[in-house]
Structure 1
Amino acid sequence: MIVDIKNLSARYEAKNVLHNISLSIQPGENYVIRGESGSGKTTLGKVIAGLVKYTGELNIHLSPASALKPAVHFVESWYRFTNLEGDRNFYYQQRYNHQQKRDTVTIARELELYGKEHSLDIAALNELITTFSYAKVLDEQLFEISSGEHKKLQLIKALWLSPQLLIIDQPYTGLDVKARAHLNQVLNNYVEKGGTLTLISNDTELPDSINRAIFMKDGTLINSNTPLNLHEKELKPLPSFLLQRPQYTSHNIISMKNIRVRYDQKEVLSGVDWEVNAGERWLLQGHNGSGKSTLLSLITGDHPQAYANDIKLFGVQRGGGESIWDIKRRIGMISPEMHWYFDANATVLQSLASGFFDSNGLYRQLRYTQKQQLEELLQFLDLQDVKNELLSTQPLGKQRLALLGRTIIKNPQLLVLDEPCQGLDQQQTQYFNKLVDEISKNGVTIIYVGHFETQLPSSITHKLVLKNGKKVPGI
């Protein structure tokens, strides 16, 4: 027996999260833990890894005869990093400002330090870097890379460590189709070498080595090997303010000609042309590192090289005197990176309301009509009961739903939804995409970034695909 749990309970932020859990994991058993957001999946994984206090009994049995490291390693759902001074005082636009001082270590240095700390073999690292096509970002700073590249960094470090028990929370978050396939093969190889694997995921495309499934609901285990079947949630009637057509000032929303973005000798975007008109709903796709986030940052006004390119937004040439706030007030945006940098001290209510002002938290008084919209949206997203709790204490799925609410609260002319369903379970993803379809009926313009055709709104009308910073023709 590798893991033996008896009558285990746990609390988090004064809430009972796990209730009287009993579970054993035998050699050769590799689990996927499934369940709705907030069911306790992540907390259970952290308890097994020794990261959360508990009551009850937990015994981990590691083998001194194994070639793998006698350790339990937990991979977070996203990567938490600090700057060179050891704090996390970053801002969203800093990622695109390469004139800033080197504030965090490079990826190569991060891996070097990790290898020294754990006395790891460099040859094994080089093999993982090749497998995940990671060499191209080794000279980047931690805050400069995308969410998918951060996930790869977490996975590379964990697989390089090769612990006897590996627990990965949301292993596929931010990864494109190719990277997912590579990950599954590497995880199968890990198991063949004697590792025990536990994944916390509602995804269906799992490694062949996963041979057990458990399901969680409200902090308890439901032992069943039947397929995950989260009931489909019915969409409530839209808040009244989202039924109104956005007030467009121009038929042409985005005009980009021969867009080029370069950092030193590295060209991130090259010769990209793109026209988006009012009411169109675009899907933006491309592999990890293809330039999607950089392209979006030019639109949202977060990238300093926007002024060096031929870009018109809402019919106005960039650099024509408009401020970044003139642009942002017409745009609602959500992205995994924005979530990283959001105010950890904001409540759920404050997080939604900050969308009126495009701020990182709420620092102004709301008008009466804004309060009405806020209440409508809290009810619509089923967040009314947690509105006064800190956003950071909520399950990841509820955090993301709150920030999605922030995106739509001002009924903007343009919605930029950059992998909006990262961290959401299957039910929440279906619900949100139905919401996007419903909102699109009012004529809003949408740019939606998503890797998987099966997890997209049905209302998409156009498609742009990037590959190595260039527009793929004929799509």
Structure 2
Amino acid sequence: MRRPTVRIFPRSLSCRHYGTSKTWPPIISINNGTFHRHHPNACLASTTPNPPLFENLNFELPSSSSTQKHWSIIGPSNSGKTIFLQILGGKHISIPATARSYPYLETEEIGKKDHELRNPARAIKRVGFDGETGLGAQAPQSAYLSARYESRREDTDFSVLDYLLGNTELNPSKDPNGKQIDTTNLERVIKDLNLGDLLDMPVSNLSNGQTRRARIARALLGKPEVLLLDEPFMGLDPPTLLTLSPMLHRLANTLSPRLVLALRPQDPIPDWITHLIYLKGDCQIAFQGPKKDVLKELKEYVAASKAGKVELDLHMPLYSMHEVGRTLTSKGILETGVTPSTNGKRSIDQSTRETRGEMDDLSRDGYPRLDADPPSIGEPLIEMEGVSISYGSKTVLGNWKQFEDSKIQDGLWWNVRRGERWGIFGPNGSGKTTLLSLICSDHPQTYALPIKLFGRSRLPEPGQPGISIFDIQARIGHSSPEIHNHIPRSLTLRQVLENAWSETFRGVPKLDSSANDRIDACLRWFEQDLRPGVDQRQSHEHEKLQLLSIIENDRRTIRWDSLANKYIETEPRSRPSWADGILFGGLPFSAQRVALFLRAVVKQPDLVILDEAFSGMDDRVRDRCLLFLAHGESKRVSYVSHTTKKGEHQKLRSKRPRIEKSDIAKAGLVKVGGLTNDQALICISHVREEIPGSIREWICLPEANTGAPARFGRLDGPIEGDYGRWNEIWGMPQKA
């Protein structure tokens, strides 16, 4: 078989370079290549959608430090970030076949290291976080949700060290040619990723952030030449971000391995990244080149689109660019479009105000920037009086003293009442998921702890029966990565929402006409985000027109009753039957997240728990979910024309967002409203933009095993309204 030609790019003839070091060819070279999932001439391509992926793509990843470039791929959900990384790793059909090559892998340098590295599948590893949960096939997951909290360990409860070493089989076979992991490399990776205290912990007990570090460590132990990290910052707390980025920078500088990061628009860009590719929808590149040039082009495109100087590209909606450009440094995150104000707080600059338009005085989900009236608070739904969780001699939650009832008390003291909106924060591994497991009663120790849920203990008390797990879960709507991992992929989309009225994931739901109406309303409202085949790449205006079309179709079944002075339904609205034929497992990851969010809120339970519920969504879908959480069908975002003058004659028109009453609300046909005063909300997220605007009460758990107490506080408005509120929660200095 003919070996690929090694392409060494000549140096300039106008100057001489002296030295003994060699200049190696690029490790990945793509020259005017177009890619397909199936070969265009294959039979499968004629029966399966097979659009071209990244037509006429040109890309090079240097192999030597003299031409070092640190690349990041940025784009909203479904823009093709994962596909781009897969192409770099050798997946998908290249047309022509010679357009993609790996010149460095054919050099003598690689032959000296390891001849197996000549294979791109061995030399280039991708670690994805957007649609993957757990540690993958190497670490079997528990069969049921509460198993991770039990003290008894099963044979399949492998430790983190077992996972790193690859010892995750019950009956492993001895491979005489098997390679041993280098001890020195193992120790370095464990130190770099701060895994020393987790080595003996079962992998099923890891938090999301700990799981992420373990997966990166496992990939590094294979000593790949290139490591592709797909959305590595999603779900990580700010302190972990500040430590992870410098570690990745050290790896990138030493080329062991070379790194390519795929980021969402809302993710901060590490300051050491030198080059960017910004993707627009349908697997196309909008801008590519040095970071400062790409960010400048993005800014100019946004300004020109708002001013009406250029036609808005349907594949490049402005909503996906609102948060691009934040910088991740070793000391904090530098915001884009934010400047210090005279009173020491941060304010939104004029450019960002023009983008937000008439929403300047509201959060993205319609809450005033500063509260005018105190909230209406009701009876307690959760009562914890001195809670502490230990596994043997190790305490993972509540190992502190807290001032409560005018004296110092041991453990966690915490109440959640109707009408309250709580945010739970803290570093990865601080016990947030454990705390939620106590609320949902998945944790076995709930029986023995001083906890009351909805006014009752788990065990019977004098004159009062205990509360069952089914009673608890019937009153809680819950969306989390754990729920996502366990919900059956064989359920249809409609069955996922109906499951809110079931006692188990596969239980028979107890539905009435009201429940069916609520499910239908949710499916219709989010059809564009849930239904395959509906254009996901529409502009703001197209989104508005589609929503109006749905409402207009509903209006054909209603009429105005002049006597009653209101709209009345003349026939039932059409049922969204399309949701009956869509399997949950066949949906894109973002759509699965939307379905689980709706499952949590559709029943209007007493307590809504959103644990990283919006991770994996682009900001347009996330903001729609946040607005729906707050107002249901009663509010929507519209885009109104704005006219400005330039000089004496020229007028420029742009579209600005505005939250307004929906036509469904005007017709009095709302089936699903927003959160009520009888409900409580608990939210966990490490991303500021994913925090609902209603969150006022907060608790920040300390880092595990420090003995520091949990910190409590209350906000006077949405976190979005004042960036200093976010820094206050995390105890971080405010950056100008």
Please report the TM-score for the alignment, with normalisation by the length of structure 1.
0.87
After superposition, the Cα gap between the structure-2 partners of 1:39 and 1:184, relative to the gap in structure 1 and judged at 3 Å, is same
Measured in 2, the distance between the counterparts of 1:145 and 1:56 equals: 44
Q: Answer yes or no: is 1:73 the counterpart of 2:113.
A: no
Question: 1:138-174 CA deviation, whole Å, 9 max, x = no partner?
Answer: 1122222111111111112223434222211110122
Partner of residue 231 from structure 1, selected from 312, 318, 321: 318
Q: Give how far 1:97 is off.
A: 1.9
Distance 1:372 1:26 in 2: 53
Shift of residue 449, structure 1, vs aligned partner:
0.8
Unaligned runs of 5+ in 1: 239-247
Report the equivalent of 2:36: 9
Q: Which amino acid aligns with 2:283?
A: G
Corresponding residue number in structure 2 for 1:257: 385
Alpha-carbon distance between aligned partners in 1 of 2:599 and 2:710, rounded to the nearest angstrom: 32
Distance in 2 between residues matched to 1:18 and 1:156, nearest whole Å = 34
Equivalent residue, structure 2, for 1:24: 59
1:95 corresponds to: 148
Is the contact made by 1:83 and 1:104 (CA closer than 8 Å) also made in structure 2?
no
The answer on 1:60 being equivalent to 2:99 is: no
* % identity of equivalent residues: 25
Q: Return the alpha-carbon distance in structure 2 between the equivalents of residues 131 and 409 of structure 1.
A: 43
CA deviation string 1:447-472 (max 9, x = no partner):
11122434422211101111145642
Q: Is the 8 A contact 2:209 2:235 kept in 1?
A: yes
1:139–1:15: structure 2 CA closer, same or farther, 3 Å change rule? Answer: farther
Alignment-mate amino acid for residue 90 of structure 1 = A
User: Equivalents in 1 of 2:488, 2:166: separation in Å?
Assistant: 29
User: How far apart, CA to CA, are the structure 1 residues paired with 2:94 and 2:141?
Assistant: 28
Separation of aligned partners in 2, 1:275 and 1:390: 39
CA contact (8 A) 1:352 1:406 kept: yes
Residues 457, 157 of structure 1: alpha-carbon distance in 2 compared, 3 angstrom cutoff:
same
Equivalences for residues 279-298 of structure 1 within 5 A = 279-298=419-438
**Conservation of the 8 A alpha-carbon contact between 1:236 and 1:380:** no
Confirm whether residue 44 of structure 1 aligns to residue 71 of structure 2: no
1:308 aligns with 2:444: no
Q: Which moved more, 1:7-16 or 1:450-459?
A: 7-16
Q: Deviations over 1:290-310 (max 9, x none)?
A: 011101100001111001100
Partner of 1:397: 590
Q: Return the match for 2:220 from 159, 171, 174.
A: 159
Deviations 1:350-382 (A, max 9, x none): 222212225325644744332221111112223
Task: Check the 8 A contact 1:284/1:463 in 2, yes or no.
Answer: yes
The 5 Å alignment of 1:447-458 reads 447-458=682-693
CA RMSD of aligned residues (A): 3.3
**The one of 609, 614, 617 aligned to 1:421:** 614
* 1:432 equivalenced with 2:572 (yes/no): no
SS at match of 2:478: strand
Alignment of 1:76-475 (within 5 A): 76-77=128-129, 78-81=132-135, 90-113=143-166, 119-194=180-255, 195-202=257-264, 203-224=267-288, 225=294, 226-227=297-298, 231-232=318-319, 251-270=379-398, 271-320=411-460, 321-361=466-506, 363-364=508-509, 366-382=511-527, 383=529, 385-386=531-532, 387=579, 388-438=581-631, 441-443=675-677, 444-468=679-703, 471-473=709-711, 475=713
Distance 1:364 1:474 in 2: 38
Deviation, structure 1 residue 215: 0.8
Larger relative contact order (Cα-Cα within 8 Å, sequence gap ≥ 6): 1
Question: Amino acid of the residue matched to residue 472 of structure 1?
Answer: A
What SS does the aligned partner of 1:400 have? helix
Question: 2: CA distance between counterparts of 1:7 and 1:268?
Answer: 51
User: Structure 1 residue 101: deviation in Å?
Assistant: 1.7
Kept in 2, the 8 Å contact 1:37–1:398? The answer is: no
Q: Which moved more, 1:164-173 or 1:229-238?
A: 229-238
Describe the SS at the equivalent of 1:268: strand
Change (3 A) 1:153 1:381: same
- Distance, in Å, in 1 between the alignment partners of 2:154 and 2:167 is 23
Provide the C-alpha distance between the structure 1 equivalents of 2:709 and 2:48, rounded to a whole number of angstroms: 50
- After TM superposition, the structure 1 stretch with the greater mean CA deviation from structure 2, 283-292 or 261-270, is 261-270
Q: Secondary structure at the match of 2:268?
A: coil
Separation (CA, whole Å) in 1 of partners of 2:628 and 2:509: 28
Contact map agreement 2:593 2:617 (CA 8 A) in 1: yes
Check whether the contact 1:83–1:103 (CA below 8 A) recurs between aligned residues: no
State which drifts further: 400-409 or 45-54. 45-54
Name the structure 1 match of 2:567. none
Give the match's secondary structure for 1:267.
strand
- The range that moved more, 74-83 or 88-97, is 74-83
Whether the 8 Å contact between 2:164 and 2:217 is mirrored in structure 1 is no
300-309 or 181-190, larger mean C-alpha shift: 181-190
Moved more, 427-436 or 198-207: 427-436
Q: For the structure 1 residues 122 and 432, does the alpha-carbon distance in structure 2 shift closer, same or farther, using more than 3 Å as the test?
A: farther
Shift in CA distance, 61/186, structure 1 to aligned 2, threshold 3 Å: farther
Q: Mean Cα displacement is larger for which, 339-348 or 157-166?
A: 157-166
Comparing 147-156 with 281-290, which one deviates more in the overlay? 147-156
Task: Tell me which amino acid in the other structure corresponds to 1:7.
Answer: T
- Measured after TM superposition, the shift of residue 201 of structure 1 is 1.2
- CA 1:462–1:171 in structure 2 vs 1: closer, same or farther (change >3 Å)? same
The farther-off stretch of 224-233 and 264-273 is: 224-233
Deviates more, 1:456-465 or 1:281-290: 456-465
Distance in 1 (alpha carbons) for counterparts of 2:513 and 2:95: 47
